[in-house]
Structures are given as structure tokens and as C-alpha cells.
């Protein structure tokens, strides 16, 4: 495995990557995104690493059965050197583009174990982990980080460690751990990382649209963008980014396109034996994001959240996305202001697991 980055789809353009998202960026979702326009790179959701862990089979599928034609980086979350090394070695036997370390997950359940974003409180430990993984990974070793834990004081130290341990690609989500997912994104800190890091940097956080991707790359001088929630809302976003990066007009989308996406996602995420209601509830988690671009009042979201069967769900989709001239209406390129992707009402007891669709909003 080489440590040069995999060639992008369009040489010379800024890179695009689908952000790792727990319970989202699985084999099915990556396939759907690739259908509408793949990013340059995919990242798996995190493999949990601890004494008893073995790489989760469902996450391995997104590597082993990847038919998108685009490379997949395998992300790890953990802090134990021996178990991280063992897991990296195991994953290197699969067709991974590289090994990625999570230094960003803000879930209290996670950071309290000093993994993910919790490690940003302990740069010395980060140094040990980077040294250990760098020694194990002969090819691409990448890091995804936030800009700090409760402030940005460790940022420069961590960037220097990234340089010292020859990290090949750095993704920076421009928020601290304490800022979770809703605050402003500090693009100035991403620009700082671009200036200080010797490796290419992907800018992450609130890249809402292709137009925003162009603006964020111009503002930060990053090598590219990493996009998460806005690719759930708009899986065409990577194709649109390539159009915008080339200076071409971005192909507009209609609500009929969205109806097509919902159908494709429903079929792709169907699992034998999964009860219809559970599948419908799973779909609602994606549709929470999709609905942000359907109408400015949130009427689609309101009706969609109240469905309890496949027929009801598609009935609501047909009414809001196809009927009475809706099909030809524009799917907004950015979320309508004030239309929030809330966790749905089926998961009122969702634990504070900040890296899960049950709790993360946009
Ligand atoms: C549902 C969900 C799950 C996530 N899971 C992960 C994860 O497994 N690993 C990770 O590094 N970041 C994870 N994140 C953070 C995203 O990769 C990304 O940094 C964040 O959503 C900001 O980008 P966005 O504004 O484009 O969504 C998750 C985010 C969401 C919304």
C-alpha cells in the first residue's frame, strides 16, 4: 500500500470525502451515494477497539463488498496501543485505502473512556498512539480530529504530532468536542491547520452545498472537503462539488429526484428479517435530514415522522414530493432556515451517544 493519496476522480480538483458516520456510512449507504455521484474517498464508521474487540462484521462489509470503485479508509476509535496495533494489522489484511484514527467523537460515553474526542485532553497519549500506528501502518495513516476539547489550547501541539508522525491526510472538523454539532464552524482554525500541517487537510463541518464547498476551500486553502450530514440530505452533493470546482453550473435537483432517492435508500437498507416498522423508523432517521430541503415549513418532516408503515411512508413521500406539481419543484441546495433535523420520536431514551443518528441533528 502506497502512502501517496489515491488519485481523485478529477485530477487537479479539490478532494471530496464522505465523512464517517456511525450507523450511516455502511455498505448500503455508500452504494447509494456512489449511484448519485461518489466522493473521492469513503471512510467507514469507527471500529471500536478494546481488549475484547474484533473488527465489527457489518463494518467490514463496507470494505470487503465495496463496489463503488472508490477507496475506503477504515476508522478506529480506541486508546490502548496493543489493541489498536492488533486491530490495524487485522484491517490491513482487507482492501483498505488506509487506517484512520478518530480524535473527535464528542459523545460523553465515548470521551469519558479517553477515546475519540476525549484524547484531545491528553496530547502526550496522542503522541504515543500516533507513533504506535505509524510504525504498524506501512501505507496511508490518516487522522480525523476536532480543534480541541473544551478550548483550542492543545490544537498546535496535536498538529505538531501529526507532522512528527508523518500522518498522510488530516481531516479537521472545525469545532471543539464541547461544541458538539450545532455551533458555528471555526474555519479559521481549519485554515491554521492547513498552514501548519505538512499533509493535505480536509475541511469538515457544515459544508452544506457545492457552493459552500468552493467557499470553504477558498477560505481555508484545504486540499478538499469532507461532508457528512449534508450528504445524507443530498447524496448528489459530491457530483455537484465537482461541477462547482470545475466552474460549471451545478445541476439543480427536483423533488422527483428526492422521491427516487428515498425509494433507492429504502430498498438498499432493507435487511431480511427486519420488521417493517423498524425499517420505517430507520428510514425516518435519514429522512430527518432530507426533509430540510423539501419545504420551508417542515410539513414533509411533520407528516413523515408520523408514519408507521412502508405504505404510509411512501404515501407521504408521494404527496409531498410528486403530487400537485411538487415533482418539478426544486429540492433546496441548502437546508431551509429553521427546519431542524431532530432525532425522531421513536428514540426518546436515546442515550447521550453523540455519534449516532438518534442524537445528532443538523
Ligand atoms: C450520525 C453521525 C455519526 C457520526 N459518526 C462518526 C464516526 O463514526 N466517526 C467520526 O470520526 N465522526 C463521526 N461523525 C462526525 C462526522 O464525521 C462529521 O465530522 C460531522 O458530522 C461534521 O460534518 P457535517 O457538518 O458535514 O455533518 C458522525 C456524525 C453524525 C451526524
Which of 16, 17, 18, 21 is the best mutation target for the ligand 1 pocket, counting ligand atoms within 8 Å of the beta carbon and taking the most?
A: 21
Q: Does residue 7 lie in a domain region? A: no
**For residues 195 and 84, what is the distance between their CA atoms, to the nearest angstrom?**
29
Residue with CA at minimum distance from ligand 1 atom 3: 21
197 plus 63 within the same structural domain = yes
- Check whether residue 129 and residue 52 sit in a common domain: yes
Cα dist. 276→270, 282, 290 in Å?
9, 10, 20
Q: Give the cell for residue 102.
A: 478518530
Ligand 1 centroid to Cα of residue 327, in Å, is 31
- The answer to the question of residue 67 being in a domain is yes
Distance CA 223, CA 130 (A): 22
> Which protein residues touch ligand 1 with a CB less than 6 Å away?
19-22, 24, 45-46, 75, 102, 104-105, 144, 173, 204-207, 227-230, 355-357, 360
Closest CA to 6 of 224, 230, 238, 216: 224
The atom of ligand 1 lying closest to the CA of 206 is 25
For residues 57 and 254, what is the distance between their CA atoms, to the nearest angstrom? 37
Same domain? For 173 and 262 the reply is: no
Phi-psi region of 215 (alpha: psi -120 to 50; beta: other; left: phi over 0): alpha
Kindly report the number of other CB atoms within 10 A of residue 180's CB atom: 16
- 33 lies in the same domain as 122: yes
Q: What are phi and psi of 75, to 5 degrees?
A: -95, 140
Tell me the CA distances in angstroms from 353 to 189, 228, 259, 272, 357, one per residue in order.
26, 17, 30, 27, 9
What distance lies between CA 52 and its chain's CA centroid? 26
Domain boundary, last residue among 214, 245, 276: 245
Tally: H helices and E strands in the chain: 14, 9
Is residue 10 one of the residues assigned to a domain?
Answer: no
Q: Which residue, among 124, 21, 37, has the nearest Cα to 75 in the 3D structure?
A: 21
The CATH number for 181's domain is 3.20.20.70
> Quick check: is 9 in a domain?
no
- The pTM is what? 0.96
Q: Cα–Cα distance between 182 and 115 in angstroms, integer?
A: 21
Rounded to whole angstroms, what are the CA distances from 344 to 110, 233, 307, 308, 362? 22, 16, 11, 12, 13
| Bridge partners for 171 per DSSP | 144, 202
- For ligand 1, atom 5, the nearest C-alpha belongs to 21
Among residues 228, 245, 262, the one where a domain terminates is 245
* Grid cell locating 357: 443518528
**Is residue 296 domain-shared with residue 150, that is, in the same domain?**
no
- Indicate which residue's Cα is closest to atom 2 of ligand 1: 21
Nearest CA to ligand 1 atom 22: 205
**Boundary residue ending a domain (197, 217, 245):** 245
Asked whether the beta carbons of 140 and 169 are under 8 A apart, the reply is: yes
Check whether residue 219 and residue 318 sit in a common domain: no
Is the residue at 26 inside a domain? yes
In order, the DSSP letters of 46-79 are PEE-STT----HHHHHHHHT--SSS-EEEEEE--
Q: Which residues are registered as beta bridge partners of 95? A: none
For residue 202, the cross-strand partners are: 171, 224
- 84 Cα–ligand 1 center, Å: 21
Cell readout for 18 is 464522505
Q: Where are the beta strands (DSSP E) in 62-130?
A: 72-77, 98-103
Q: Is there a single domain that holds both residue 289 and residue 336?
A: yes
The CA 325 to ligand 1 mean position distance, Å, reads 35
Closest CA to 291 of 266, 269, 265, 262: 262
Asked whether residue 48 is assigned to any structural domain, the reply reads yes
> Residues 59, 47: contact at Cβ < 8 Å?
yes
Q: In terms of Cα–Cα distance, which of 200, 189, 215 is closest to 167?
A: 200
Range of the domain at 286: 252-362
Looking up cell 483498505 gives 96
Which of 19, 43, 109, 145 to probe ligand 1 with, by most ligand atoms within 8 A of CB? 19
pLDDT tens digits along 195-234: 999 999 999 999 999 999 999 999 999 999 999 999 999 9
Domain co-membership, 218 together with 256? no
Co-location of 146 and 191 in the same domain: yes
- Substitution candidate for ligand 1 out of 20, 120, 180, 231 with most atoms within 8 A of CB: 20
Grid cell at residue 224:
478538499
| Total of domains in the chain | 2
Per residue in 69-92, pLDDT (tens digit) is: 999 999 999 999 999 999 999 999
* 191 lies in some domain: yes
Distances in whole angstroms, Cα of residue 152 to Cα of each of 120, 145, 176: 9, 12, 7
Nearest CA to ligand 1 atom 23: 205
Are both 164 and 311 inside the same structural domain? no
Residue 297, domain member (yes or no): yes
204 and 323 in a common domain: no
What integer best gives the mean pLDDT of the chain? Answer: 95
Name the residue with the closest Cα to ligand 1, atom 9: 20
Q: Which residues of the chain have pLDDT under 70?
A: 1-2, 343-354, 357, 359, 361-362
Residue nearest atom 10 of ligand 1, based on CA coordinates? 20
Q: Tell me, yes or no, whether 236 and 264 share the same domain.
A: no
The closest-lying atom of ligand 1 relative to the alpha carbon of residue 104 is: 11
Q: Tell me, in angstroms, the distance from the centre of ligand 1 to residue 243's CA.
A: 24
Amino acid at each position: 500500500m502506497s502512502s501517496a493519496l489515491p488519485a481523485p476522480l478529477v485530477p487537479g480538483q479539490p478532494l471530496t470525502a464522505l465523512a464517517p458516520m456511525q450507523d450511516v456510512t455502511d455498505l448500503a449507504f455508500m452504494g447509494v451515494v456512489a449511484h448519485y455521484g461518489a466522493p473521492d474517498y469513503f471512510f467507514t464508521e469507527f471500529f471500536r477497539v478494546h481488549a475484547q474487540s474484533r473488527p465489527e462484521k457489518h463494518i467490514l462489509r463496507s470494505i470487503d463488498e465495496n463496489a463503488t470503485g472508490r477507496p475506503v479508509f477504515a476508522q478506529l476509535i480506541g486508546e490502548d496501543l496493543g489493541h489498536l496495533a492488533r486491530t490495524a494489522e487485522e484491517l490491513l489484511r482487507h482492501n483498505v485505502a488506509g487506517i484512520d484514527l478518530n480524535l473527535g467523537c464528542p459523545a460523553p460515553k465515548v470521551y469519558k473512556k479517553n477515546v475519540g474526542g476525549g484524547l484531545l485532553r491528553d496530547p502526550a497519549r496522542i503522541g504515543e498512539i500516533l507513533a504506535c500506528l505509524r510504525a504498524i501502518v506501512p501505507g496511508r495513516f490518516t487522522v480525523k480530529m476536532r480543534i480541541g476539547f473544551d478550548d483550542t489550547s492543545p490544537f498546535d501541539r496535536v498538529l505538531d504530532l501529526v507532522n512528527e508522525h508523518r500522518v498522510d491526510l488530516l481531516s479537521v472538523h472545525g469545532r471543539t468536542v464541547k461544541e458538539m454539532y450545532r455551533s458555528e464552524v471555526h474555519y479559521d482554525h481549519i485554515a491554521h491547520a492547513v498552514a501548519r500541517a505538512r499533509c493535505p487537510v480536509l475541511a469538515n463541518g457544515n459544508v452544506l452545498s457545492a457552493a459552500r464547498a468552493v467557499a470553504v476551500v477558498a477560505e481555508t486553502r484545504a486540499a478538499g472537503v469532507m461532508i457528512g450530514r449534508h450528504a445524507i440530505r443530498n447524496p448528489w452533493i459530491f457530483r455537484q462539488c465537482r461541477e462547482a470546482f470545475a466552474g460549471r453550473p451545478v445541476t439543480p435537483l427536483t423533488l422527483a429526484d428526492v422521491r427516487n432517492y428515498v425509494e433507492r435508500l429504502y430498498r438498499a437498507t432493507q435487511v431480511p428479517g427486519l420488521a417493517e416498522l423498524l425499517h420505517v423508523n430507520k428510514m425516518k432517521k435519514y429522512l430527518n435530514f432530507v426533509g430540510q430541503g423539501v419545504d420551508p415549513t417542515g410539513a414533509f418532516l411533520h407528516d413523515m415522522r408520523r408514519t408507521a408503515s412502508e405504505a404510509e411512508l411512501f404515501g407521504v413521500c408521494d404527496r409531498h414530493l410528486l403530487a400537485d406539481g411538487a415533482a418539478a419543484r426544486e429540492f433546496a441546495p441548502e437546508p431551509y432556515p429553521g427546519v431542524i433535523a431532530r432525532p425522531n420520536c421513536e428514540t426518546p431514551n436515546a442515550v447521550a451517544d453523540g455519534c449516532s443518528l438518534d442524537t445528532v441533528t443538523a
